[in-house]
Structure 1
Amino acid sequence: MATMINTDKAPAAIGPYVQGMDLGNLVFTSGQIPLDPKTGEMPEDITEQTKQVLSNIKAILAAAGLSPKSIIKTTVFLVDLNDFNTVNTIYEQFFNDDDAPFPARSCIQVAALPRNAKIEIEVIAAR
């Protein structure tokens, strides 16, 4: 049975979905955009947006009792693939900070994201 994940340390859903679902052995997060959960604001530049998205993901995983070490797959959505190198640097630091192995990953360019975000990331984590 799936259990909804809900934490005030990540932005509330801005549509008809939940922050994440816990299936016991797997946790799926909804795509996270760079909204600050306290202010609802979004940083302007891709560096800060990427950091905020990863912080939101970390908070959702923590609410499920997991950490970035548990992530087995990520999907990264970018409005501009020219931001790939910047995102990659921050992404690498995120996983190195937690001494976690790098997960499998897809990265695709999209036409637009909610609230005009430059990046969105969703993850699958395992227990």
Structure 2
Amino acid sequence: MAGEIESIHTTHAATPGGHYAQAVAHQGILYLSGQLPVRADGRHNIGEPFEVQVAVALDNLMAILDAAGRGPHDLLKVTVYIAGIEHWPAFDRIYARYLGEHRPARAVVPVPALHHGYLVEIEALARSGLKS
């Protein structure tokens, strides 16, 4: 068999609003679902400035990595969806603060709109370190 799929969940990140896991680990890869700027307690932040939305989404991503026993240095690929490419420089600045010197592969995709009217969503792949 190709190995088990292990579901990752933490109360320190927003609970999924649909039929999906916060992350799953399989064969050494951790697949992190798209993170919107929804706080861990479920509070929405639609009216918050872009910079706050980015910080909340990245906090969720970091909490899920932590729940899997991983950190930002384990990120392999990050995909960022931004409603309004004019936000790219602000995103890049905040992202660099969270990741420090680590530079995973990344794509920033401008989109016309995101769920609930948010301005950013972030998904990622990381090393899992879990035996799956």
Under TM normalisation by the shorter chain, which class is it? over 0.9
Q: Report the Cα distance in structure 2 between the residues aligned to 1:31 and 1:37, rounded to whole angstroms.
A: 14
Aligned length: 124
Q: How far has the Cα of 1:115 moved from its partner? A: 1.3
Could you tell me the TM-score, scaled by structure 2's length? Answer: 0.89
Query: Which residue of 1 is the match for residue 19 of structure 2?
Result: 16
Q: Which residue of 2 aligns with 1:123?
A: 124
Whole-Å Cα distance in 2 between the matches of residues 72 and 39 of structure 1?
A: 28
CA shift at 1:6, angstroms? 0.8
Which residue does the alignment assign to 1:69?
A: 73
Aligned-residue sequence identity (percent) comes to: 29
- Asked whether the equivalents of residues 7 and 23 of structure 2 are also in contact (C-alpha less than 8 Å), the reply is yes
Cα distance change on mapping 1:32 and 1:75 into 2, 3 Å = same
1:114 aligned partner: 115
Task: Confirm or deny that 1:50 pairs with 2:54.
Answer: yes
Tell me the TM-score normalized by structure 1.
Answer: 0.93
* Structure 1 unmatched ranges of 5 or more: none
Deviation (angstroms), 1:41: 2.2
Q: Which stretches of structure 1, 4 residues or more, deviate above 4 A after TM superposition?
A: none
Partner of 1:85: 89
The separation in 1 between residues aligned to 2:56 and 2:22, in whole angstroms, is 15
Deviates more, 1:36-45 or 1:77-86: 36-45
> Does 2:15 correspond to 1:34?
no
User: What is the one-letter code of the residue matched to 1:56?
Assistant: N
Query: Structure 1 CA distance, aligned partners of 2:118 and 2:42?
Result: 15
Unaligned runs of 5+ in 2: none
